[in-house]
Amino acid sequence: MPEQTADASTRLAARIAREAARRKKQQRALVLTAIALCLAVAVGVGVWLSLRPSGTAPSAPPVVAVPTQTAEPTASLEPTAAPVAEEPTAPAPVIDPFDTEAARKHVQVLAGDIGVREGGTEGERKGAAYISAELEKMGYAPSTVKFSLPNGRTSQNVIAELPGTGSRRVILGGHYDTKKPSPGANDNTSGSAALLAIAAELKDEPLPPTIVFVWFGTEEMIDSNKDHHHYGSRAYLKSMTAAEKSATAAMLSVDMIGYGPEFRVRTMGKGPQTLQKDLLAFGKANGYSATYMKDPSKYGYSDHEPFELAGIPAAWIEWRDDPVYHTAKDIPSHVDWEKVRQAGQLTLDYVRALDEPRMDVLLGK
């Protein structure tokens, strides 16, 4: 079982840092509001002076309400009730759309600059280091969890958590390794890049579930045995406690979202189907064209496999088919960014909609 390198104190420190950043934003917003009110007063007085007929004595300018500090009452005044100070209202988080340009940048670095990231190789380690560094820039405290492969190599998962307001968990995952000789711009740099863009967008939003982002190492087959794959997702599932498994309302694998005419949500049909049904219903209600397609593989074609077989509501989102996946032609220029945008936006919208009643439905409660 892999050991997680970031301990609880590190995660607590990261959460405190995020809370401090939120408070700083709130204070900045209050200062800007005060400045705006002062400017409004100045503009109002200027307009009044410009409209006053020339030669007339100035009268009192129009009253503009501005926040002032009430003077302390003197002993000669009648006693009055002390004014009640109101708590400043925190500004609502900015709900932006999926950032396609950020995803494009990540694809260029991972698939264009780093290139082939075969499981357990230096290329894969460089990919993990890049993902971890980007998460740190966003304010996360990512952990890199190593695990052994049967061919003697070592791979790793990159994990980042966004604490929620409730007790439930949602796993968003995608593999970042590639099948040699492919740099894997679509398979699966597209999904890995989308998860980075989503992590950046959600980091300051108060969501009910804790969002666990996992970039899985060595999803691709390492030899001719068709069951020798999904090592990162299987290792992560093995590391989960019984409490974490029961608290996980959804696991969504974002894999190959950058090419093809068919927008699909897929499962093996062997575990709970609540997630795929609810995700498709949500997508249809919000104008997305995604439809269901069964994953017919005995072992599963993506990282939803171990979670679905463990009884966790799981699904795989993809665009298909891609005729050049697993080849050297799967380069950044091959990616259809509108496909990435749609898949990323659907994932982002759905995660934002996961309130407690919806997660109860996913868990069959």
C-alpha pair distances (Å), 215 with each of 157, 161, 365: 6, 12, 29
pLDDT tens for 307-335 read 999 999 999 999 999 999 999 999 999 99
Tokens encoding 188: 């699966």
pLDDT tens for 197-242 read 999 999 999 999 999 999 999 999 999 999 999 999 999 999 999 9
Indicate if the pLDDT at residue 84 is higher than 70: no
Q: pTM for this one?
A: 0.77
CATH architecture assignment, domain 93-362 = 3-Layer(aba) Sandwich (3.40)
**Mean of pLDDT over the chain:** 85
Residues in CB range of 304: below 8 A, 6 or more apart: 251, 252, 253, 266, 267, 268, 295, 314, 315, 316
139-152 mean pLDDT: 97
Greatest extent of the chain over all pairs of C-alpha atoms, in Å:
97
> What span, in angstroms and rounded, lies between the C-alpha atoms of 80 and 127?
66
> What span, in angstroms and rounded, lies between the C-alpha atoms of 16 and 256?
35
42-69 mean pLDDT: 47
Indicate if the pLDDT at residue 47 is higher than 70: no
Residues in CB range of 311: below 8 A, 6 or more apart: 245, 271, 272
pLDDT of residue 17: 54
Burial of 324 (0-12, 13-18, 19+ CB in 10 A): middle
C-alpha pair distances (Å), 276 with each of 9, 246, 319: 36, 18, 15
Residues in CB range of 70: below 8 A, 6 or more apart: 83
Q: Report the percent of the chain where pLDDT is more than 90.
A: 74
> What span, in angstroms and rounded, lies between the C-alpha atoms of 32 and 26?
10
Tokens encoding 357: 């009643």
Determine contact, residues 211/170, Cβ cutoff 8 Å.
Answer: yes
For the chain, how big is the Rg over CA atoms in Å?
A: 26
pLDDT tens for 3-33 read 333 444 444 454 455 555 555 555 555 555 5
pLDDT of residue 95: 78
The residue extents of the domains of the chain are 1-91, 93-362
pLDDT tens for 250-277 read 999 999 999 999 999 999 999 999 999 9
The identity of residue 158, as a single letter, is V
pLDDT of residue 27: 58
160-176 mean pLDDT: 98
Residue 35 binned pLDDT confidence (cut-offs 50, 70, 90): low
CA-nearest of 180, 176, 172, 255 to 217 is 176
pLDDT of residue 85: 45
